[in-house]
Structure 1
């Protein structure tokens, strides 16, 4: 297009002024809509045969003038429909249409009919501007192919790409199905504070803010875990939250700093009970959202149905690294990491190095991580909040859901021994003293709650990374307004 965008905006402003001169409000506060576009199309035969007068609304998507006739397409959130304007039907108002542009929102009152070419159409007997647009739509001017532009100006992405709009409808359906599943099984949905005096429940660096009225620093929560477990101490047996958490860490295709997480805690439930519930919950949400349990991911077909196998952490580690975790020293683990170009922090302890090796060398293998499975029997060093296995104190009751070579959920037989918990917090604080900003802080209030008695319980957490994988996209693409670099 040879015109500069500034010239187009100026020309549209003149049209806006002309509408005002004619006594037309270009931004009215309400409409007289009787049907959505989809409803008009669904009931088309009846409405057309009865010549019922209806009122539709939408954004102008196309505009073709042929003398005293204009064909246009308007689109609301449900569908597109063709509009037929004819001067003879509009009692002197036809000339006003010269002030309309693609991108404007309009209201059409008229009757439905089918054109000679078979197009379902509304014949306009009256019309009204609902919102005058001053900028041209992207496809009309410069297109919208650049990913950065699409994410930075998501409203344009939604406007121009119906498949993106559909993705976020699916995302809403996904989280609703998770909530519905848990509520139907007796879980209480709660809302917990986002600002915390002590962040906990995960190894992550928190965001810090200041509360002016209290004159104290607070943290944006990095997990939902500790407050939910306090509710278990208080007497609830099944609790969960779906909410935002915040972690001040790196950006990747799998990680964001501000994202949605779901965690549930279930008193008196065993580890296997929790795994069964989680598998059923995933299968329910996937079927409700996508209508199938088989979905493509990077050229592979992932089958979420049926039973999911268990994979032993220690056995996988030894099979793919030749290191026996029962005997391997920290120096041996660091040597392996160095030889395989796996970077780690200077203060990294044995648990952190084990975790990095597994993520970088084992989980990424298709034969290990592509199809859904439960990763079980994990070393105690990598999980400070999980309960030790009663038969083997070197492992904890923790499972991870592996699929698409990613971790897509994590569950525990939760630690409820306050003395054991204090020892693990003390170890985490020793790591913080060495410079590990992601190690967990000592939370005395949580320990005090545990000292009143916490029943045996299972817990599970998952994030919106799962939805991104199900869509076969990066997590940033599936966040409606991702934070972008300047």
Structure 2
């Protein structure tokens, strides 16, 4: 590697000695590869068009055959071939200060960025090409690209050096194009329905809106601890209190949790709140939004994910947590009449492991669901009516205070969305937050804390409201047929390659 780098440095120096730059300041592009391939698709083999072009890109391949050479360059939209003829490129060398065909052969390597001027032609073999008249070095690459035939096969390196992954794996580039288009589509979809995007703080004095362990940092001037947000919920609901009836935010969320194929500590979500609505309205909105995203991104409501065909056009199942647990395990939680010990023994009989935190009937029900049911929900399924113990911000049912008006959407065994009829009773909300705070004081770092300012906002008065959160990364996994969340996050969190003793303990004023 050092020999290759040294050789390329010498080539860069030779350009400077000739009076040219190895790293250009700018280059004016007239067209992209995609535009050219579409506009000149009609050309017959061997046909040329006197159409002036300036285009730039990274050299992906090169073939030199005496006085003729064929390069392939890549830009953001695709690739195109360069037809390089010594007679054409060297034609004006005596009158203008230009780089020659010989310079091209000797100095340009695969990986370099170059800009060219020329006209369009289709070769006798049917390859659309730029007939180059002159060229410029835009940026000299000092390190070689991975072999094009084998690509970047090291998965860890793909995530750690995403720039290489994007260069040699067209699929990866398409994934992130799709991600960007889907995010733009979601914003337009909501904006067209009169939702207003509100930016809420990332640094918060109290991290709330979800059961999750936050990242902690420190503000030096104020000398106070701050938390990276674990949800945008409580601040968006404050906006509803203030009179905004339809609000959302699409942005980053931070949770100090484990890393897996479906979890990254930094992820993207969209949270949506609509006054005068409930969780049924949010269910309808979720189904409509996701169907529209799929139709736009995939062109169909029937997709293939990891060799599983999923039909989103069919009516989506809506079923209570108790009913679906009974369907897949045979355990009817209503039959225990509140006998927790009997229920726990029945759960033990089907090999469900329970921690000490599973100390109520509702938590036990949820544990069975997560361990025995969740992974089986391949088709889009709304699981509704959750236990109140695990839903501290949701409105209870009128006829049963043990369950709340909440749903989670599951597709291919993963939670994709979570929504409630929001709890707007400030007295009930305070009692639930106090219970959560007691769990937190006992060591549950994921339990919700008391947010006095939010409780004060509720006492000012909040209208009936439906709230919804959708995990953008998991949605993109589904749309792009990606097996791991790391495949759809440009720069996922990774364990450092080298960990020194000095870095094992973070100073108190840094994010932990």
**In structure 2, what is the equivalent of residue 200 of structure 1?**
208
The corresponding residue for 1:54 is 53
Alignment match, 1:454 = 462
- 1:101 matched to 2:109: yes
Q: Structure 2 vs 1, CA of residues 153 and 311 (structure 1 numbering), >3 Å: closer, same or farther?
A: same
Given that 1:347 and 1:435 are in contact with CA atoms closer than 8 Å, whether structure 2 keeps it comes out as no
**Alpha-carbon distance in 2 for matches of 1:175, 1:105:** 30
User: In 1, are the aligned partners of 2:151 and 2:169 still within 8 Å (CA)?
Assistant: no
Worse-superposed segment, 46-55 or 82-91 = 46-55
Please say which of residues 112-121 and 209-218 is displaced more in the overlay.
Answer: 112-121
Show CA shifts across 1:316-375 (max 9, x none): 22341524156354444544555555444434432444322211101222xxx1111211
Change over 3 Å in CA distance of 1:407–1:443 after alignment to 2: same
1:400 matched residue in structure 2 = 408
Tell me if structure 2 keeps the 8 A contact 1:347–1:434: no
Question: In the aligned structure 1, how far is the partner of 2:136 from the partner of 2:56?
Answer: 9
Q: 487, 490, 495: which is aligned to 1:477?
A: 487
Structure 2 length as normaliser, TM-score?
0.89
SS of 1:101's equivalent? coil
Whether the 8 Å CA contact 1:16–1:99 is kept in 2: the answer is yes
Contact 1:177 1:284 in 2 (8 A): no
Secondary structure of 1:193 counterpart:
coil
Alignment of 1:271-286 (within 5 A): 271-286=279-294
Within 5 Å, which residues of 2 pair with 1:325-474? 325=334, 327-336=337-346, 338-350=348-360, 351-365=362-376, 369-464=377-472, 465-472=474-481, 473-474=483-484
Alignment deviations for residues 34-92 of structure 1 (CA, whole Å, 9 cap, x no partner): 11122222222789754122111111111111112211111111121111222211225
CA distance in 1, matches of 2:471, 2:354: 25
Distance 2:85 2:323 in 1: 76
Identify the range of structure 1 (220-229 vs 334-343) with the bigger mean alpha-carbon deviation.
334-343
Q: Identify the residue that residue 507 of structure 2 maps to in structure 1.
A: none
How many residues align? The count is 479
Secondary structure of the residue aligned to 1:107 is: strand
Structure 1 residue 114, shift from structure 2 partner: 2.1
- The alignment's C-alpha RMSD in Å is 1.9
Cα 1:196–1:321, aligned 2, differ >3 Å: closer, same or farther? Answer: farther
- Note the residue ranges of structure 1 that are not aligned, 5 or more in a row: none
**Mapped partners of 1:301, 1:95: distance in 2:** 54
2:176, 2:151 → 1: CA distance?
22
Match of 1:132 among 140, 160, 179: 140
Give the gaps of 5 or more residues in structure 2.
Answer: 94-99, 497-512
1:485 Cα deviation after fit: 0.9
Taking structure 1 as the reference length, the TM-score comes to 0.94
Looking at structure 2, the residues matched to 330 and 259 of structure 1 have their Cα atoms a distance apart, in angstroms, of 37
User: What's the counterpart of residue 82 of structure 2?
Assistant: 83
Cα deviation per residue 1:164-219 (whole Å; 9 max; x = unaligned)?
Answer: 11111111111111111111111111111001101111100000000112110000
Find the residue that maps to 2:152 and give its secondary structure: coil
Q: Structure 1: how far apart are the matches of 2:102 and 2:118?
A: 18
- Could you give the per-residue CA deviations for residues 68-120 of structure 1, whole angstroms, max 9, x where no partner exists? 22111111111211112222112251221111101111111112222222222
